[in-house]
Amino acid sequence: MKDKPVIVVQLIHIQGPLKGQIQEVAEESISIGRHPSCHVQFPKDLSTLSRRHAEIVREGNRFKLVDQSTNGTFVNGKQVKEAYLKDGDVLMFSEGGPKASFLTRILEGQPVVQPESLVVPAPPERPAIPVQKPVAAAPVPEPPQPPVSTPAAAAPQPPKAAAVSIQKVQKPLIVQYGPTLNSYRELPVTIGSGPGNDLVLSHPAMLDSHAQIFFSQDQYWIKDLTGKNLVSLNAVPISLQAPLNAHDILALSPQGPRFTFLGQGRLAEIEEPARAQAQPAPEKKHEAPGQEGERKSKGIGALYKDIFKK
């Protein structure tokens, strides 16, 4: 009889005090609330949430959300008491409260990866290989080398493009962009603003055909399709394509969007701070001494009130 598969529930928090976090739980029942015993625990002072707000229960290979709260639980904007979940559903705990995207992945014959183990381990050290010493020979003096002048400061060079073949493979890719979670089971995946792409991003800096993510040589890769060296890794432009490593910062252009590569085919958006829109200068009024500084202080606080914090 085939063993029951291990299914890991992933909750990607897109709004609220846990925003930017990804939690993975492989339990039959997942509790959510403010109580310290909950698998998904929110701060104690978040009074809009109940101590035991909701529960995600596994039934076979499906998962059901059960509301246990006072202020309600919502799935894709609709309040529910019970609802079966599917990948990509957006859960909201109380009206206007924290939001999280729901996703699952199946592990068969593999250990469950917990959130603390998301860092890719370093490869094991290879044993030293003994080297046979050659027969001693008379040393040959090397001719003197002319001095080499070193430039004062060398600009960072883009990673060299590697000749890597791109083929269709069954590998997962999860991209969190804004409030949506995009899931793919096959690579490569093309990214751009045009409708013919697998992932269409409505960002002013995106070109019609912008980038491609593929899998080769046991790792994920990013390819720049712009021909303008717009795509960069860790603030260094790539010449054509480059491998993705855990915790790399991927920028599709100098103006964004930017993502963190979390490993295991997962990209989470790094939301840029909102830019203040230009406003016409108001008519200057005479103010009492000290009032101008107080008004400016209040204006700055209002400007940063709704900034996305990862």
**Is residue 118 left, alpha or beta, with left meaning phi > 0 and alpha meaning psi from -120 to 50?**
alpha
- pLDDT bracket for residue 178 (50, 70, 90): confident
Rounded distance, CA 260 to CA 269, Å? 6
Mean pLDDT, residues 56-85: 94
- pLDDT bracket for residue 201 (50, 70, 90): very high
pLDDT in tens, 277-300: 444 444 444 445 555 444 444 444
- pLDDT bracket for residue 126 (50, 70, 90): low
Phi, psi (deg, nearest 5) at residue 65: -90, 130
Rounded distance, CA 33 to CA 53, Å? 5
pLDDT in tens, 72-118: 999 999 999 999 999 888 999 999 999 998 988 887 554 444 443 33
Longest dimension (CA), the chain: 93
Rounded distance, CA 244 to CA 117, Å? 18
Residue among 15, 18, 177, 180 at smallest CA distance from 97: 15
What does the pLDDT read at residue 157?
Answer: 52
pLDDT in tens, 205-249: 999 999 999 999 899 999 999 999 999 999 999 988 999 998 899
Residue among 165, 164, 167, 185 at smallest CA distance from 175: 185
